Structure 1
Amino acid sequence: MENRLSIQIPTADLAAAKAALQQVQSILAPYVIALTPEQRKTIPKMSDGTEPFVAKVIEYAADAPQFLPPFVDRQEFDKDWQAISGLLPLLRLCTQIEDTLSDTTMMAGSEAYVSALSYYNSVKQAAKVNAPDAKAIYEDLRKRFERKARSGNESPE
């Protein structure tokens, strides 16, 4: 079994990182919203390919405002563009952080789980040959792998 990750993050560093993220969250709280799953499905979305198009339209709307439909509020259009221009770099940085945190926790979790399974299998074998203390440990750990029997009168979840 290859150990591909071997890190010990000092508690102070974890606390400082958490505090910094909480500070970012606090700073942005007055400006961010939460969408419902339905809203996320139904709203038009700006992507990397759409971003240059919107930037170009902002320029054209400034230079040729006669083509801006009357129902489009130019000031709100500009505010939305400024918001996206300011938030996208933060989102990209957060995505990078999320990706590396996710990968690191996944690898650390995988390695810890493999070690735990190895220990469990060792205890299981020891319990089969009545090694001292093995049965109690095995009985406690095997609960993780027990399947719950369904009775016929239970409603499916």
Structure 2
Amino acid sequence: MTDFSAAIHLLAKDDHAPALPLLPANHYEDAAMSNDNRVSAVLTAQDVTDILGSVAAIGAKLPFLINLSPQERRELPKMGDKSIGFDDKCRAYMGSHPEFIPGFVDVAEVNKDRELRLQMMRFYAALIALTDKVDDTLQVVSSEAWMADLAYYQSVREAAKRGRAGAQSIYEDLQQRFPGAPTAAQRAAAVAAQSASA
């Protein structure tokens, strides 16, 4: 990995980090992005409209869906894979020995819950797989754009250091994203102080 790539990685991982260190100009001419362009695709406005319509149609088929609070998620008893067999046995025993069913248990509603769970499990995995792919792809395209931004910022910073026309104003504008970074005046003062103490 080049010094440029290493610096880009450092800043990309911590968006509160100070500005990238200055590097020789030739680093910018040949340095590659740290990752290949993994996603190159376009969605038309109609594509987005169609996707939103499909999502809305799925939601319309599931009007009973609810949202749980983080506390509710923690407190609700969970039926994991290991408990499915237990539930199957309880369902059978409730049918063959209903005399042991507590009075507060509504068997009809419990059976509706069981049936709904089975139906939802038929498409749950497919929806999770799709949302995982959407999330992963969104992270990749966002990362690729961010890496390009950092490369441009570093290039502008080098150009400003070399006094190229128009670079300083761009650099000062972009530098606001990294408030911990020293300004050109602060760097000049630091250099002067080092020279004076030498």
Q: Give TM-score scaled by structure 1 length.
A: 0.83
Q: Aligned pair 1:66/2:94, yes or no?
A: no
Per-residue displacement from partner, 1:96-146 (whole Å, max 9, x unpaired)? 111000111111111111111101100111111111111111111111111
Deviant stretches of 4+, over 4 Å = none
SS at match of 1:49: helix
Q: Give TM-score scaled by structure 2 length.
A: 0.67
**Distance in 2 between residues matched to 1:52 and 1:145, nearest whole Å:** 55
Higher mean alpha-carbon deviation, 51-60 vs 124-133, is at 51-60
Q: Aligned pair 1:51/2:74, yes or no?
A: no
Higher mean alpha-carbon deviation, 75-84 vs 5-14, is at 5-14
Aligned counterparts, 1:2-151, within 5 A:
2-29=36-63, 31-147=64-180
**Distance in 2 between residues matched to 1:57 and 1:36, nearest whole Å:** 29
AA partner of residue 65 (structure 2): V
Q: Report how far residue 93 of structure 1 moved.
A: 2.1
Q: Percent identity?
A: 33
What do you get for the CA RMSD once the two structures are aligned?
1.9
Count of aligned pairs: 147
Structure 1: 5+ residue stretches without partners: 148-157
Q: Name the CA shift for 1:115/1:63 in 2 (closer, same or farther; >3 Å).
A: same
- Asked which structure has the greater CA Rg, the reply is 2
